[in-house]
Amino acid sequence: MSASLIRFENVSKAFGSTVVIDDLNLDVRKGEFLTLLGPSGSGKTTTLLMLAGFEAPSGGTILVDGKRIDDLPAHRRGMGVVFQNYALFPHLTVAQNVAFPLQMRGVPRGEIARRVDAALDRVQLRHLSSRKPSQLSGGQQQRVALTRCLVFEPKVILMDEPLSALDKQLRERLQLEIRELYRREGLTVVFVTHDQSEALTMSDRIAVFNRGAIAQIGTPADIYDRPANRFVSEFIGETNLLEAEVTGRGDDHLDLALEGGPGIRVPGRCEDRAVAVSIRPERLVLDAPELDNHLDATVDDVVYQGNHLRIHLSCGPLRLVAQSERRIEPPVVGRKVRVSFAAEDCTVLTE
Ligand SMILES: Nc1ncnc2c1ncn2[C@@H]1O[C@H](COP(=O)(O)OP(=O)(O)O)[C@@H](O)[C@H]1O
Ligand SMILES: [Mg+2]
């Protein structure tokens, strides 16, 4: 799992004078499910296209198994590609679509038929093999696209927002199916999405992209619990991002003054004077005297969200959001409450 299979070394890409990927260094480990996550325009697709062989880097090198692949055309890179808009060929049947990559590679006809049937069997689509794409649902079309990409048994699968066009329920089902396929076939997957919950659900590691560079790379838990900077803390999940001034330094803690005055203690060291603190809404608890930090706040609103409550709070100029299980007695709007949180649930950010 830890050996690097794909390596981007100082890769850059410019369109004309616009640099869209800037000195990218990235390792994809053999057998991992790596997600490139970031807002629209952050360079995810461009990165995937360079790996697939559909765009040439302007600088730097891409290696697979330690060998440069710059000169290899897309179909010789041994990578299966599924794009959101990589539509199936509309005039071909499901079976003919799935057969296409095998024909491209000169596989004998008898073997093609056998492999297409086996591939369609595995995703329970064989009964649809003579249909045209227009006679399939969106989810079925995306399964066919996935099958077409798996049929030539690539060792690496690249997927660019393959589920973005589907509705929520279907998307969640296909997320599980893709994970299952990945595990069963022992694939290495590079998956692109702008949807942070999809990335958290599916990935072994996530590379968060911002403006053509990686803002942070790590496991979903690393990224969620220990965001490296303001951008990541706000892009992944929801957070309370509070500006603060360092007023004291201990061996392993900092004393901070939040905007409006209140003091809190957080773990960590830093040289900067102005920092930000990120605290997840589910880490803010009402009336928990045993925790390290307390703020006196007013309840501005309580919103039911099915399985949890969102509690909007203000503390002087600070606006906070807490998230609680529904089992608690909901606080009354307008009341004063004490908001508590543990020092260890605070992440201090300097960037
Ligand atoms: N062929 C192209 N010509 C010019 N600019 C492009 C081209 N492809 C992408 N870009 C620009 O590169 C940036 C990154 O695009 P892209 O990789 O598609 O981002 P993402 O997939 O993260 O949304 C965007 O600003 C986009 O407009
Ligand atoms: Mg894109």
Residues, CB-to-ion distance under 5 Å, ligand 2 = 45
Q: What is the pLDDT of residues 136-191, one digit of tens each?
A: 988 889 889 988 988 888 889 999 998 888 888 888 988 998 898 899 889 999 99
159 C-alpha to center of ligand 1: Å? 16
* Mean pLDDT along residues 193-212: 96
Instruction: Identify the pLDDT of residue 202.
Output: 95
Q: Is the pLDDT of residue 124 over 70?
A: yes
Instruction: Identify the pLDDT of residue 91.
Output: 95
Band of pLDDT at residue 78, cut at 50, 70 and 90: confident
Band of pLDDT at residue 44, cut at 50, 70 and 90: very high
Q: What percent of the chain has pLDDT over 70?
A: 99
Q: Which of ligand 1's atoms lies nearest the C-alpha of 13?
A: 12
Instruction: Identify the pLDDT of residue 70.
Output: 86
Band of pLDDT at residue 207, cut at 50, 70 and 90: very high
Kindly report which listed range (146-160, 211-225, 311-325) carries the lowest average pLDDT score: 146-160
Determine which residue's CA is closest to atom 16 belonging to ligand 1.
Answer: 43
224 C-alpha to center of ligand 2: Å? 23
Question: 175: Cβ below 6 Å to ligand 1?
Answer: no
Instruction: Identify the pLDDT of residue 242.
Output: 94
Distances from the Cα of 137 to the Cα of 46, 133, 134, angstroms: 29, 8, 8
Instruction: Identify the pLDDT of residue 86.
Output: 57
Kindly report which listed range (26-35, 193-202, 285-294) carries the lowest average pLDDT score: 285-294
Q: Is the pLDDT of residue 317 over 70?
A: yes
Q: Is the pLDDT of residue 292 over 60?
A: yes
CB 55 within 8 A of CB 49: yes
Amino acid at 345: D
Question: 43: Cβ below 6 Å to ligand 1?
Answer: yes
CB 320 within 8 A of CB 284: yes
Provide the mean pLDDT of the chain: 92
Q: What percent of the chain has pLDDT over 90?
A: 71
Instruction: Identify the pLDDT of residue 85.
Output: 65
Ligand lying nearest the CA atom of residue 38: 1
Amino acid at 255: D
Out of 180-184, 209-213, 251-255, give the one with best mean pLDDT. Answer: 209-213
Kindly report which listed range (84-93, 212-221, 293-302) carries the lowest average pLDDT score: 84-93
Distance between CA atoms of 49 and 39, rounded to whole angstroms? 17
Q: Is the pLDDT of residue 254 over 90?
A: yes
Selected residue with higher pLDDT from 343 and 152 = 343
Q: Which domains does the chain have, with CATH numbers?
A: 4-233 (3.40.50.300), 238-349 (2.40.50.140)
User: Would you give the distance in Å from CA 282 to the centre of its chain?
Assistant: 20
Selected residue with higher pLDDT from 7 and 137 = 7
45 C-alpha to center of ligand 2: Å? 4
Question: 38: Cβ below 6 Å to ligand 1?
Answer: yes
In a 13 Å sphere around the CA of 29, the CA atoms on its Cβ side amount to: 15
Instruction: Identify the pLDDT of residue 113.
Output: 94
Ligand lying nearest the CA atom of residue 211: 1
Question: 45: Cβ below 6 Å to ligand 1?
Answer: yes
Phi, psi values for residue 56, rounded to 5°: -95, 135
Question: 196: Cβ below 6 Å to ligand 1?
Answer: no
CB 293 within 8 A of CB 264: yes
Kindly report which listed range (76-80, 163-167, 214-218, 223-227) carries the lowest average pLDDT score: 163-167
Instruction: Identify the pLDDT of residue 169.
Output: 86
Question: 40: Cβ below 6 Å to ligand 1?
Answer: yes
* Mean pLDDT along residues 202-219: 97
Q: Is the pLDDT of residue 95 over 90?
A: yes
Q: Is the pLDDT of residue 2 over 70?
A: no
Q: Is 295 exposed, middle or buried (0-12, 13-18, 19+ CB in 10 A)?
A: buried
